[in-house]
Structure 1
Amino acid sequence: MKNGNLQYQFARLSIAEKLIVVNIIIFIVSGLIQALFSTSPNTVMGWFQLPKNFGEFIVQPWSLVTYSFFHSGIGHIFWNMLMLWFASRIFLNLFDAQRFLTVYFLGVIVGGLFFLLSYNIFPALLNTNTALIGASAGVTAVLLFVCSYIPNQDVRVFIVNVKLWHVGVFFVLIDLIQIPYGGNIGGRLAHLGGALIGYIYARQLLNGNDIGAGFSTFIEGFQNIFKPKEKKPKFKKVYKNQAASSTTTRDYDKVARQKRIDAILDKISKSGYESLSKAEKDFLFKAGKED
Structure 2
Amino acid sequence: MNKSFFEELKYKVFQSGNPVFFYIGINVLIFVIVAFMGIPFFLSGIAAVDFPSFIREYLGYPASLEKLPSRFYTVITYQFFHDGFMHLLFNMLWLYWMGKIFLDFLKPRQFHFVYLVGGMAGAALYTLAYNVFPVFAATVANATVIGSSAAVMAVVVATATLVPDYSIRLLLLGDVKLKYLAMAYIAMELIGLASANAGGSFTHIGGALLGFVFIKLLQKGKDWSKLFKRKPKLKVVRNEPTNSTSNKSRQNSVNQHEVDAILDKISKSGYDKLSKEEKETLFKASKH
Query: TM-score by structure 1 length?
Result: 0.83
Percent sequence identity over aligned pairs: 32
Give 2:41's match in structure 1, choosing from 34, 37, 43.
Answer: 37
The two structures, once aligned, show a CA RMSD in angstroms of 2.5
Partner residue, 1:281: 279
- 1:57-77 CA-to-partner distances (Å, cap 9, x unmatched) read 110211001101000001111
Distance in 2, Cα, partners of 1:9 & 1:167? 28
**Aligned position for 2:89:** 78
SS of 1:161 mapped into structure 2: strand
CA distance in 2, matches of 1:259, 1:17: 27
The aligned residue for residue 153 of structure 1 is: 166
Indicate if the aligned counterparts of 1:107 and 1:193 stay in contact, CA closer than 8 A.
Answer: yes
Question: Cα distance 1:257–1:46, how it changes in 2: closer, same or farther (>3 A)?
Answer: farther
Q: What residue number does 1:197 align with?
A: 210
Q: Name the stretch that deviates more: 269-278 or 198-207.
A: 269-278
Match of 1:207 in 2: 220
Is 1:8 aligned to 2:11, yes or no? yes
- Size of the aligned set, in residue pairs, is 270
Question: Would the aligned equivalents of 1:27 and 1:71 in 2 still touch at CA under 8 Å?
Answer: yes
Deviations 1:67-98 (A, max 9, x none): 01000001111111111111101101001211
Give the aligned residue type for 2:10.
Answer: Q
Q: How does 1:109-148 map to 2 (within 5 A)?
A: 109-128=120-139, 129-148=142-161
Structure 1 segments unaligned to the other structure (5+ residues): 225-237
Please name the residue that 1:232 is paired with.
none
Question: 252-261 vs 54-63, which deviates more?
Answer: 252-261
Q: Deviations over 1:31-66 (max 9, x none)?
A: 111112334202234321101112211102110011
Q: Secondary structure at the match of 2:105?
A: coil
Q: Which amino acid aligns with 1:17?
A: F
Residues 16 and 9 of structure 1: CA distance in aligned 2, closer, same or farther (over 3 Å): closer
Q: Which moved further from structure 2: 35-44 or 61-70?
A: 35-44
The separation in 2 between residues aligned to 1:194 and 1:108, in whole angstroms, is: 6
Q: Look up the SS of the partner of 2:114 in the other structure.
A: helix
CA distance in 1, matches of 2:9, 2:89: 23
Q: Which residue is 1:240 aligned to?
A: 239
Q: Bigger relative contact order, structure 1 or 2, given CA contacts below 8 A and separation 6+?
A: 1
Residue 30 of structure 2, aligned match among 22, 26, 36: 26
Cα 1:255–1:172 shift into 2, 3 Å:
same
Contact map agreement 1:34 1:44 (CA 8 A) in 2:
no
Deviation at 1:275, TM superposition (A): 3.1
- For the structure 1 residues 286 and 135, does the alpha-carbon distance in structure 2 shift closer, same or farther, using more than 3 Å as the test? farther
Q: Is the 8 A contact 1:94 1:285 kept in 2?
A: no
Deviations 1:127-180 (A, max 9, x none): 213201000001000100011111122222224222211111111110101211
User: Aligned AA for 2:80?
Assistant: F
| Cα pair 1:92 1:285 within 8 Å, conserved | no
| 131-140 or 150-159, which deviates more | 150-159
CA contact (8 A) 2:56 2:144 kept: no
Q: TM-score, normalised by structure 2?
A: 0.84
Q: Which residue of 2 is the match for residue 59 of structure 1?
A: 70
The alpha-carbon distance between structure 1 residues 243 and 60, as it changes in their structure 2 partners (threshold 3 A), is farther
Structure 2: stretches of 5+ with no match in the other structure: 43-49
